[in-house]
Structure 1
């Protein structure tokens, strides 16, 4: 079984209580509640482990109870719809998958037939004559359902079931009106289904059920033919048909899970739905809740289906802050509400980030000693994102077979199969290759305007007319905008991955981009903005490796600017990403210690101090750096020295000499100076981007 750390209360507590079967052994557990099952909705941003929970549930319960799984993102029929295929929708595709998954026999369950749902699915799968795409889709669906529900005739082979079934329908159409290309097909499909697979009494019961759902007064097979025609019309007509089919699905499950199974505690069926934040996913959940509410209002027998769904969402409170790890245990302790209380149709569980203790557990079993502070660096880099923690921990353990990884190497590691960790993580976090490549380029930008300057210079042949605008919309849609607002790619971990991937792509003679050229473009963009853009221009100058020019400028304006302005500029400049290691040797700690002062004998004390301070800050604010006590003390000493050299900024610089080392020791972003008084503030990031 996969270790899920903070997600264990879900898979070992909440879901077993709902399905009535232990997670890891064949033992029934008391089920809660008996009626009015909620849809369990797992919500969180990309990489928070939503799909991993579904993976674990599928692995645990497969073959032990009826189980089906569907990915609503994969069920989106956009491409096929554009080809003129009208017998498809995300809801219907998902119902096919659910029926196919839940139908096979498992212990305590025979094979389920879905007496109501199947004729409806066959009907809406009907095709327009001559439409090859619709025919192909119908053949695939019919073959899979006939196999899953064991509806094949004795003389049919499993491989050609769909072909033979479709051929028999085609034979019935030989005499049909050639001007009518859908209705005769639907009629033939419906009649053949009932003739071959359903007895007369069963057929009458099913058709009466569909007639009761319709207000048109149709009877017999005609009611399903009309159902098919309405589905193909799309829009409100299709929505009404999907509503009917979801009700049929739940009613079939309610019948299959009869009084005897309820009394004997037979485990309930389980449906795992991924990505229900998609349009089709939202519609399916709405229809499911609507059908359950209708059944409850009519006094019908409740269906037994346990639904665990995932949804991309910020989670947390109104401001979107991460959920606390303890919150998941509280959510997993949920039980039935007191009698007379209105049922809760949705039980939302926001997945929290992993704790530092979880990361320690991931790294416990290493073949050699690790850097003592590597777990905290890994946790700080990922923000506790489970996917990031898992991939990086595996890479650390893989390298540990040869040598111990250092915190500064985390983003340069490779996975056990030899892929760069940045490539692996970005592929899983940003699924679209074109967007991923564009974000790698734009990750250096401060804001949309800077991103536009980069895109104009380096992505002129993009398929999008305004690639930076497109990337900004995609970041917003995929909820990658929950950072501090100081960069175009707002999420710190995603930005760190993108920047490191850009470093990797800039290496070598055949590289598409040159690191210095990219930062030169951004430096020129911000320089054109005048004084307002100078901190960013200096930041990109430093990122390109031209530290001497930055030191000269910071020294030159030290006595002219107010101390708070100078400190905030210094603090921002120090967040510059360092150049690729292939073309730059990291000597920041050596310079901060003063080891290179002998090379600057021709400069004064202030310039040498600024030189040491800038390089010390540049290292300390690096997300994966582990600053020593000496480095923090040196930073404070340099700031205290400069406080004695500024004509009006003694208070501000003295404040920084105390607060910045403290923040560095506590792994917090450096606080911003508030103004001439130097009392400090909290604006900005103060952490490398």
Structure 2
């Protein structure tokens, strides 16, 4: 059973009430909305547990009721030519094929899941849908790609619906099936190699002759004839359906609409009015990555059909879909309910929306929120041994968890279930070897010995080349800096790899907009959103860059990367100076940064100086193999004696810089004495600045509080004398 945290309102509450079956025991529960059920749309960013919820539902209901599942991101994963459908089918590359589409592939997957018998349910034969799927799967004569695709699809559909045996009891595979169609064509009139009509007619005829009783065939043909005006011959409607589908564009969309209607009508027939009256558990479909083009198309057709019927002929299907974005733009009339609200009642009604006839009125959206610290603590409890190994004598508490580790882990993961779970597994791996401190969270390993950061980045960024790009570009402030890095270091066959990365971040919801320079969770530690705006992803990518830059095979040295960016920002003049200093500090060269900040303290306005300082201290620290982390020791004054000739301003700036740099680190522990140290240094500088007392005094009050709560440092506001 998939382990979930804080998602039980869906798995144990809403969905069991929609299907009418408890999620663990075979116990019927009262159904919500016995007529039309809403499409439940789970929303949330990467790693927020959407797929885990679908996995848990599949675990709970597989084999207990008819269940279909599709992942829209896996359809045509390598892209497709316009009008040609996806280029992959069943894991095999397909080129030049016009007899498939995302909607058709989805319907095939759902038939494979819903058709097989389960206890209490007979096998579903999909008497309307199958003739349509066979018709559109027809191939142009001589097109090997289309013929190979047809063989694979026909094999799977016949097996799923229990039609694999012919009249002689022999197994009827797609290869034999297609060969028999070819034999029929050999006796037909001569036609051009690319003619579709004789193939479609032979496919439809063979399907009805072999697999459908005469009465069922008459009903199915009649159903399509009603939707094809002007059809006069027995199978002409289905042949026309095939023609339209292969034309693509609007013609194909009309056919897909008909196929979805057939799919829902078949489910309604299989469910039956007496089963509806008896509140028999309803079939369930789980759809992942519904934000993709394929997902939008499939959900759009399903919702449009339900809206057109107006609830007069409701289908029994319960649909739970998951998508990345918030869904407010595409589904404006959807009912939104927070996760705790759906535990006992979904409170959905199409009539309650502003436009009941709108397809989006059939949607109930539920955003998946970040985990709270209580759930992270529960994860750590599960990861930490019930009877931990006692520390050996003289080890002073090795093999223990730091008391503030749950807070640090929650802060680093930002409540993302995937990150929190993998980090907790890394903690479990380290327990017994050494004390687990917050500063070690980015250095954890999996039980297989892989760095947790590497595994997390792999799970969050699925494409290897894009991972490589983003690891490199994670140091960039903006698109221009990313272009400079990409031009010098990226290996790509395309002209603008930074533009590709920017587009990817936007499409995958990693580039969340920021309302202001110090706006909330999407801003960097210094308040400025960087090229990779998401704080968690940026932290993981930078950690991976640190790790790989010192590897024996590494081709991107940390200091060289920061030197390149320092030169890039130096060319921007005064506007680039904060980033020049930032990358100087990131390379581990703190002394020139302290010298420059001390020098300009007297000549700059206090707001400008603080703005520069907060940008500088957002610098990532160098790899541990190249640099000893003494930031906090310097912040508390341990190195003051090394600068006997420096004045107090210089020593104060040195302490303040290192204290802020340390506390801006995502895994730093902001203790009271450390925050007080920042307050003391800023308070001293407030007394020293010739005109900036008010600005610096305000920072001495607000910045320690922001550090304590691990918020971005607030932007200093200039104070003008009346």
TM-score by shorter chain over 0.5: yes
CA positional deviation for 1:510: 2.6
Tell me which of 297, 313, 323 is aligned to 2:325. 313
The reply on whether 1:469 has 2:482 as its aligned counterpart is no
Structure 1 residues 2-11 or 489-498, which shifts more? 2-11
| CA distance in structure 2 between the aligned counterparts of 1:542 and 1:116, rounded to whole angstroms | 68
3-state SS of paired residue (2:87): helix
Q: Retained in 2: the 8 A contact 1:44–1:315? A: no
The reply on whether 1:541 has 2:584 as its aligned counterpart is yes
Q: Deviations over 1:287-334 (max 9, x none)?
A: 11122233347x4x321010111111046999xxxx99x921214521
The reply on whether 1:327 has 2:370 as its aligned counterpart is no
| CA distance in structure 2 between the aligned counterparts of 1:449 and 1:237, rounded to whole angstroms | 44
| CA distance in structure 1 between the aligned counterparts of 2:682 and 2:45, rounded to whole angstroms | 40
3-state SS of paired residue (1:240): helix
Question: Across the two proteins, how many residue pairs are aligned to each other?
Answer: 671
- Corresponding position of 2:421: 390
- Corresponding position of 1:26: 26
The reply on whether 1:145 has 2:157 as its aligned counterpart is yes
- Corresponding position of 2:264: 250
Q: Deviations over 1:515-570 (max 9, x none)?
A: 01111111111111111110110000000011011011111111111122111211
- Corresponding position of 1:371: 402
- Corresponding position of 2:192: 179
Call closer, same or farther: CA 1:340–1:7 in 2, change over 3 Å.
closer
Q: Retained in 1: the 8 A contact 2:585–2:619? A: yes
CA positional deviation for 1:188: 1.0
The reply on whether 1:260 has 2:277 as its aligned counterpart is no
- Corresponding position of 1:571: 614
| CA distance in structure 2 between the aligned counterparts of 1:79 and 1:140, rounded to whole angstroms | 14
3-state SS of paired residue (1:78): coil
3-state SS of paired residue (1:59): helix
- Corresponding position of 1:103: 115
The reply on whether 1:195 has 2:209 as its aligned counterpart is yes
3-state SS of paired residue (1:33): coil
3-state SS of paired residue (1:519): helix
Structure 1 residues 110-119 or 121-130, which shifts more? 121-130
CA positional deviation for 1:16: 0.4
The reply on whether 1:411 has 2:442 as its aligned counterpart is yes
Q: Retained in 2: the 8 A contact 1:211–1:219? A: no
- Corresponding position of 1:556: 599
3-state SS of paired residue (1:363): helix
| CA distance in structure 2 between the aligned counterparts of 1:547 and 1:373, rounded to whole angstroms | 29
The reply on whether 1:617 has 2:628 as its aligned counterpart is no
Q: Deviations over 1:12-63 (max 9, x none)?
A: 1110011000011110100011111111111112111111111110011000
Structure 1 residues 638-647 or 536-545, which shifts more? 638-647
Tell me which of 588, 611, 627 is aligned to 1:584. 627
The reply on whether 1:121 has 2:133 as its aligned counterpart is yes
Tell me which of 430, 435, 449 is aligned to 1:399. 430
| CA distance in structure 1 between the aligned counterparts of 2:485 and 2:456, rounded to whole angstroms | 24
CA positional deviation for 1:338: 9.3
| CA distance in structure 2 between the aligned counterparts of 1:317 and 1:613, rounded to whole angstroms | 46
3-state SS of paired residue (2:35): coil
3-state SS of paired residue (1:271): strand
Q: Retained in 1: the 8 A contact 2:116–2:160? A: yes
The 5-angstrom pairing of residues 60-99 of structure 1 reads 60-76=60-76, 77-80=85-88, 83-99=95-111
The reply on whether 1:431 has 2:497 as its aligned counterpart is no
- Corresponding position of 1:606: 649
Tell me which of 207, 225, 241 is aligned to 2:239. 225
- Corresponding position of 2:371: 354
3-state SS of paired residue (1:73): helix
Q: Deviations over 1:118-171 (max 9, x none)?
A: 11111111111222211111111111111111112255665x622222221111
3-state SS of paired residue (2:6): helix
Tell me which of 225, 236, 250 is aligned to 1:236. 250
3-state SS of paired residue (2:173): helix
Q: Retained in 2: the 8 A contact 1:207–1:219? A: no
| CA distance in structure 1 between the aligned counterparts of 2:599 and 2:350, rounded to whole angstroms | 72
- Corresponding position of 2:518: none
The reply on whether 1:134 has 2:146 as its aligned counterpart is yes
CA positional deviation for 1:193: 0.6
Q: Retained in 2: the 8 A contact 1:315–1:350? A: no
3-state SS of paired residue (2:381): coil
Tell me which of 536, 553, 558 is aligned to 1:510. 553
- Corresponding position of 2:38: 38
Structure 1 residues 233-242 or 417-426, which shifts more? 417-426
3-state SS of paired residue (1:133): helix
- Corresponding position of 1:206: 220
- Corresponding position of 1:170: 182
- Corresponding position of 2:529: 486
CA positional deviation for 1:573: 0.6
Structure 1 residues 437-446 or 287-296, which shifts more? 287-296
Q: Deviations over 1:180-235 (max 9, x none)?
A: 53211111111111001111111111100001111233442121111111111111
| CA distance in structure 2 between the aligned counterparts of 1:314 and 1:568, rounded to whole angstroms | 33
Supply the RMSD in Å over aligned alpha carbons: 2.3
| CA distance in structure 2 between the aligned counterparts of 1:588 and 1:464, rounded to whole angstroms | 41
Structure 1 residues 484-493 or 201-210, which shifts more? 484-493
Call closer, same or farther: CA 1:413–1:216 in 2, change over 3 Å.
farther
- Corresponding position of 1:452: 483
Tell me which of 239, 263, 285 is aligned to 2:299. 285
CA positional deviation for 1:280: 1.6
Q: Retained in 1: the 8 A contact 2:86–2:100? A: no
Structure 1 residues 550-559 or 327-336, which shifts more? 327-336
Tell me which of 679, 685, 693 is aligned to 1:636. 679
CA positional deviation for 1:671: 1.7
- Corresponding position of 1:686: none
CA positional deviation for 1:340: 9.6
| CA distance in structure 2 between the aligned counterparts of 1:504 and 1:117, rounded to whole angstroms | 53
TM-score by length of 1: 0.93
Q: Retained in 2: the 8 A contact 1:39–1:309? A: yes
| CA distance in structure 1 between the aligned counterparts of 2:494 and 2:350, rounded to whole angstroms | 55
| CA distance in structure 2 between the aligned counterparts of 1:266 and 1:308, rounded to whole angstroms | 19
| CA distance in structure 2 between the aligned counterparts of 1:243 and 1:136, rounded to whole angstroms | 25
Call closer, same or farther: CA 1:315–1:216 in 2, change over 3 Å.
closer
| CA distance in structure 2 between the aligned counterparts of 1:589 and 1:507, rounded to whole angstroms | 24
